[in-house]
Chain A
């Protein structure tokens, strides 16, 4: 039985690695300017983790096979070089891996979080609430009007609590239930939650960021491929969490300008 177990471990390890090696399931195609950094880091980590996973599981299988094959009364043998070799190997191999992953991985993180958005990035505010996203564009004046939480009334379609009668900056604000952006133009996303914790996740854009009630955050990214993508919530927010989503439409600049005009007319 021990030998069968040894073989089973190796078979399971190889079978587990097979879909990874064959790219049976992969992340949605990257459509961002920074995503390649994340994907490269992911690929490097797969190689390092894959080697560690396969080698340790195969060694486990081999040592079990050997262990159960030995006759009773066998005097145990010591690993060549003893524990010192293994401890030093552990420090060096994993230490190097840790340093490499830690240092190189910082680059992708910094690209998203430490680099400020460019001056011409398009500001778009996204508000998350149970169980929908709403997007606000500042209109021709380039300014967002203030939010008045007490004015929020979904029945009257005042999803964000705007006072378009009294607030001059709000008058031309455009509110939409889907997000449209121009391709190859940086977006500065201003994130606001009206109620609970939510999250903004677009796998293709390689962005994921929680909304923090009481704390407005921002993200910036540039989409490089025209298409329609899903924005989903990844922070458990209540019974409709699974269905909290919106669409992101990446358009040509001309289509985006037309879309803005059309939405402005609907306000």
Chain B
């Protein structure tokens, strides 16, 4: 039996509409708020990607409604080259920060981490509330960039300096729009730092009696590891954003060297800065960010798969230690984004080796998933389909990482669509599949109703086939040296590739339509879904021990934990599983931790 840990900082039940639904201290409401924000951001990001894809396939096509968003950027609905880049920047920023970071980590983590460890709430509920609201202000700040004169920045989600630092002279959106971008991301960092602190202290200090670290579900472990990564990664990007703003408004030159000439004007106000400094600061955050998106998805998918395979993972520890190894290695690989950036070429080899090495824990995780599927009795539902789809996408996207980890191959593939295909599959689509697996799996607990399974499966099939039709051809384009971030393909050698772009655009419209089906199913199920029981999937972890809907303090009585997280394949009074909080003694197939 394990120590009893300190209870959460108590706050009473909310008494007003505002304290219950708006400025809530309840981690569950905060989790839902994060989810709702991510949902809005995801659809904005998706509509932006539709606009980009239509423009790339049919450059002079008028996109209905776009002229309303920006009469100058899209006169008559036809996108200008600069507006293409502005939309590209907003798509990337919206998706990476406000969807892939918030949904799998902040949304699901907020809702389920305290419940899965057996706590009433997080230890710092006010910080937690601040975490969401600061992030929400960051989201509004980013959206505001659409509506300022000259519009959003055009420097991409990576905001490379000096394009991002030198001001409006560099192009449309590089004044106010870029400052809003940097302010938004700076605020976002603060929000995630506050969240990470809460996640770490919840995991370490608020576990229920009997909940040893090894009895934590893999999803809880994934959120814990991610919060440790986030605590250091966001702490580096935050000062980067502050310095970028200072270059704009305070006359500093952190990222701007001297002697630059734009529009025939010598930029004499700046000198002495380093453009590579921004890249180092950005990618020191940027590569761990990949794992901030994917590690929670790995945890969620493992959790969903186990429940539907009706068996524990082949090795809980191997999977867990591999996730921890990925967390550590994520800091020493970031230079692979900069092989041809102009940094010392010897550094490329230093960064290449750990980048190749990180494939070892990633492979072990994949092999553990495959080895666990072997000999399982698999239940197919929307959640498990998306979890299995995640595994397939993770394999496909991960393997293309072999190429980009090698500096010599990066000479050919850097800044091509190969990179776009790689990171969209491994970080974007895989993480989205993790989010969908979590949504179909936990919707009953979060909202008290079941999602429609038929529509869920239609959503899955269209998304799975559609995503492959979009992102595999991106790799082919990259092999043929199709450069990314072009608003039109005017180079002679790119002309034969335009039919591939048209195919991708049709696939993107098709896949996007599938997300509309999801949205309809989500909203419809909120009100008209079948009422959910407390444990519809016959799960074992603590979220299934408490009532549906979950009471404001999570548990009527704080649970005591008696078992490992995944005791499936046993014979108990409940069937083939025994819940963590059940005192029933059963014969297990593995020794418990």
**Which residues of A approach B to under 8 Å, CB–CB?**
1-2, 5, 8-9, 12, 16, 19-20, 24-28, 37-38, 41-42, 45, 48-49, 52-53, 56-57, 59-60, 63-64, 66-68, 70-79, 82-83, 86-87, 89-91, 93-95, 97-98, 101-102, 105-109, 112-114, 129-130, 149-150, 152-155, 161, 194-197, 199, 201, 203, 206-215, 217, 230, 232-243, 245
Minimal Cβ-Cβ distance residue in A for B576? A73
Which residues B439-489 have CB closer than 8 A to chain A?
457, 464-465, 468, 472, 476-477, 479-481, 483-489
Of A9, A20, A215, A236, the contact of B392 (CB 8 Å cutoff) = A9
| B399 beta carbon closer than 8 Å to chain A | yes
CA distance A161 to B264 in the complex (A): 10
CA distance A158 to B111 in the complex (A): 62
Known: A201-B415, A213-B162. A241 touches B314 (CB 8 A): no
The digit string for B391-415, where 1 denotes a CB below 8 A from any CB of A, is 1100110011011011111111011
Of A37, A42, A52, the contact of B399 (CB 8 Å cutoff) = A52
Minimal Cβ-Cβ distance residue in A for B483? A234
Minimal Cβ-Cβ distance residue in A for B401? A49
CB-based contact A76/B311 at 8 Å = yes
CB-based contact B402/A2 at 8 Å = no
Minimal Cβ-Cβ distance residue in A for B364? A90
Of B357, B377, B395, B403, the contact of A56 (CB 8 Å cutoff) = B395
CB-based contact A236/B367 at 8 Å = no
The digit string for B348-368, where 1 denotes a CB below 8 A from any CB of A, is 110011001101100110111
Residues of chain A within 8 A (CB-CB) of B172 are 239
CB-based contact A45/B406 at 8 Å = yes
CB-based contact B156/A114 at 8 Å = no
CB-based contact B483/A201 at 8 Å = yes
CB-based contact A238/B415 at 8 Å = no
B262, B372, B374, B405 — most chain A CB neighbours (10 Å): B374
Of A52, A87, A197, A241, the contact of B486 (CB 8 Å cutoff) = A241
Show 17 A/B contacts (Cβ-Cβ < 8 Å), sorted by A: A12-B392, A25-B477, A45-B403, A67-B309, A67-B373, A75-B569, A78-B375, A83-B368, A93-B363, A102-B353, A149-B261, A196-B170, A203-B481, A213-B275, A232-B483, A236-B485, A240-B81
CB-based contact A41/B406 at 8 Å = yes
CB-based contact B264/A64 at 8 Å = no
How far, in Å, is A82 (CB) from chain B's closest CB?
A: 7
| B492 beta carbon closer than 8 Å to chain A | yes
Known: A79-B371, A149-B259, A230-B492. A25 touches B412 (CB 8 A): no
Of B310, B378, B488, the contact of A68 (CB 8 Å cutoff) = B378
CB-based contact B154/A16 at 8 Å = no
CB-based contact A42/B412 at 8 Å = yes
Known: A90-B360, A234-B483, A238-B170. A195 touches B261 (CB 8 A): yes
| B318 beta carbon closer than 8 Å to chain A | yes
Residues of chain A within 8 A (CB-CB) of B407 are 105, 109
Which residues B464-523 have CB closer than 8 A to chain A?
464-465, 468, 472, 476-477, 479-481, 483-493, 497, 500
Binds A, one of B98-106, B182-190, B339-347, B528-536: B339-347
